[in-house]
């Protein structure tokens, strides 16, 4: 398995992106970090470089809904660092309301950020990897992608299913080639995005969740459920149980 020295992470100013950046920095990896909040990135860059003076941390502001900016930022990181070995498509939002309740704007914003912007990130990443003839694309989906879910997470679950299918199609295309594609399905990990979720079974703290995320990503699997217990067996159950049972679970 190749050593992935230089890692780009979107949505790196908070939550899973920031947590993964800290874990990879501790492993001695060079980082390309982007998010909307440049001040947060600057603080994180200073923290990581002080704790790990032998690594390089490059930062750039990025709103993933500005699709041209996605391509510009990815290409600029490639030019600055020479090569991008792994790109983690992590940026996303958790807005959403039940369909038909007058909140189309929130659902549309979730769909655009979590799917269309993820498509732009995958396009920009694959452009670089095809040119290099190497790389590892990591798409962060969700356990909610395994079934269509209801109410506030209806649109969210649909977008996460969409990016999982996008990644699987890419993985099929890249079989036998030096470009790897992984889909990661996190369960409940405590972040701002789910701070208001009342029903969050088996939730783990951010540090534990990010440690297990990085451990899974390092193995470069086709797909991984994180934390594996209990989400791997629960994921299987969610795909085969009738909707009436899944409704009670969620």
Residue 190 is predicted with a pLDDT of: 75
- CB-based contact 78:84 (threshold 8 Å): yes
CA 111 to chain CA centroid, Å, is: 15
Q: What is the CATH number of domain 6-249?
A: 3.40.50.720
How is the chain split into domains, by residue range? Answer: 6-249
In eight-state DSSP terms, residue 43 is H
Residue 195 is predicted with a pLDDT of: 53
Q: What gap in Å lies between CA 44 and CA 59, rounded to an integer?
A: 9
Residue 199 is predicted with a pLDDT of: 56
Instruction: Identify the segments of the chain with pLDDT beneath 70.
Output: 1-2, 192-203, 229-237, 240-241, 243-250
Specify burial of residue 30 (Cβ count, 10 A radius: 0-12, 13-18, 19+): buried
Average of per-residue pLDDT values in the chain: 90
Residues in the chain: 250
- Give tens-digit pLDDT for 180-213: 999 999 987 777 655 555 555 666 888 898 999 9
Residue 147 is predicted with a pLDDT of: 72
- Tell me which residues are annotated as active site: 156
Cross-strand bridge partners of residue 139: 89, 183
User: Model's pTM, two decimal places?
Assistant: 0.91
Specify burial of residue 47 (Cβ count, 10 A radius: 0-12, 13-18, 19+): middle
Residue appearing with tokens 């909307």: 36
Residue 27 is predicted with a pLDDT of: 96
- CB-based contact 164:158 (threshold 8 Å): no
Q: In a 3-state reduction of DSSP, which class is residue 126?
A: helix
Residue 191 is predicted with a pLDDT of: 72
What six digits make up the tokens of 241? 């149980």
Q: What gap in Å lies between CA 120 and CA 43, rounded to an integer?
A: 27
Q: What gap in Å lies between CA 23 and CA 19, rounded to an integer?
A: 6
Which residues, 6+ apart, have CB-to-CB distance to 116 below 8 Å?
Answer: 65, 67
Q: What gap in Å lies between CA 77 and CA 57, rounded to an integer?
A: 10
- Give tens-digit pLDDT for 211-225: 999 999 999 999 999
Residue 94 is predicted with a pLDDT of: 85
* Phi then psi dihedrals of residue 197, to 5 deg: -75, 125
Nearest residue to 85 (alpha-carbon basis) of 124, 127, 119, 134:
134
Residue 150 is predicted with a pLDDT of: 80
């Amino acid at each position: 398995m190749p050593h992935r020295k230089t890692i780009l992470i979107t949505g790196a100013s908070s939550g899973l992106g920031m947590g993964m950046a800290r874990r990879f920095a501790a492993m001695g990896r060079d980082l390309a970090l982007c998010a909307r909040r440049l001040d947060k990135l600057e603080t994180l860059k200073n923290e990581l470089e002080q704790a790990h003076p032998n690594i390089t941390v490059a930062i750039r502001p990025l709103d993933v809904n500005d699709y041209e900016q996605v391509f510009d930022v990815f290409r600029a990181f490639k030019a600055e660092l020479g090569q991008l070995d792994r790109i983690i498509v992590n940026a996303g939002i958790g807005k959403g309301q039940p369909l038909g309740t007058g909140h189309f704007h929130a659902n549309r914003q979730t769909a655009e950020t979590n799917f269309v912007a993820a498509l732009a990130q995958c396009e920009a990443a694959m452009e670089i990897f095809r040119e290099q003839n190497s790389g590892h694309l990591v798409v962060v989906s969700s356990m909610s992608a395994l079934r269509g879910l209801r109410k506030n997470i209806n649109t969210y679950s649909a977008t996460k299913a969409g990016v999982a299918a996008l990644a699987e199609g890419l993985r099929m295309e890249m079989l036998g080639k030096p470009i790897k594609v992984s889909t990661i399905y996190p369960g409940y990990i405590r972040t701002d995005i789910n701070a208001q979720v009342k029903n969050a079974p088996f939730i783990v703290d951010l540090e534990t969740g990010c440690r297990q995320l990085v451990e899974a990503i390092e193995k470069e699997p086709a797909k991984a459920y994180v934390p594996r217990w209990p989400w791997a067996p629960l994921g299987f159950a969610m795909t085969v149980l009738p909707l009436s049972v899944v409704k009670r679970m969620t």
